[in-house]
Structure 1
Amino acid sequence: MTWDDVVAIATALPEVEVSTSYRTPALKVRGKGFARLRTEAEGGLMLVCGTDEKEALLASGDPTFFTTPHYDGHGSILVDLATVDPAQLSELVEEAWRRKAPARLVRDRDADQAR
């Protein structure tokens, strides 16, 4: 998977904008960041998630998911795009979007999908 794949997944969600954060490519919903491509030196895609989900992903032992001390105690996981399963990445991107999107926007999306 590549950043372009992440953008394609995310921009299928309502009101996603491609932006920057810390001078690196990022995705936002109504101005709130939920994904950021870290620099080549840092590596990985940062996605917002719950701390319980982060713990479960790290505990799985899958090297696709990792963290650094900078993200300790924060609801965000680092993802190796070279090894992540595309379906799992799609789920994680949508979950990150849901965590930052306004509640009404999430409700509207859920209602549209139910139709």
Structure 2
Amino acid sequence: MVTEHDVRRSALALPATTEKPSYGTPGFRVRDKLFARLRDPETLVVFVADVSEKQALIESAPDRYFTTPHYDGYASVLVHLSEIDEDELADVLLESWRVRAPARLVAEFDAEP
């Protein structure tokens, strides 16, 4: 199971990312725009491109990805930390970062060797 420490390390490795509490839990922001937060010690909330991507993730791996009525209609998905490894965590955080980061920052990141 990945831990809060793993989430923090992976999130803060992304450009222009800072940590700031969100709803009383650790939140991670790119240029002050929330892209991920720990809902509780076992659950991560991340943003996705749209609701159809959210549904595709949930359908493809319901043991890893899920939602609750609170998140209905929002382009965000919950992740069971016990069901992913560190590589998948890094991928999930990167994709969420890409969705929320300014286009110019994403282009600069993609241009790096």
Matches within 5 A, 1:1-115: 1-39=2-40, 43-50=42-49, 51-112=51-112, 115=113
Shift of 1:62: 3.0
Count matched residues: 111
**Secondary structure in structure 2 of the residue aligned to 1:87:** helix
Identity, in percent, stands at: 45
Unaligned runs of 5+ in 1: none
**Secondary structure in structure 1 of the residue aligned to 2:20:** strand
The two structures, once aligned, show a CA RMSD in angstroms of: 1.4
Shift of 1:61: 4.2
**Secondary structure in structure 2 of the residue aligned to 1:78:** strand
Shift of 1:6: 1.1
Q: TM-score, normalised by structure 2?
A: 0.90
Q: TM-score, normalised by structure 1?
A: 0.89
Unaligned runs of 5+ in 2: none
Aligned AA for 2:27?
Answer: A
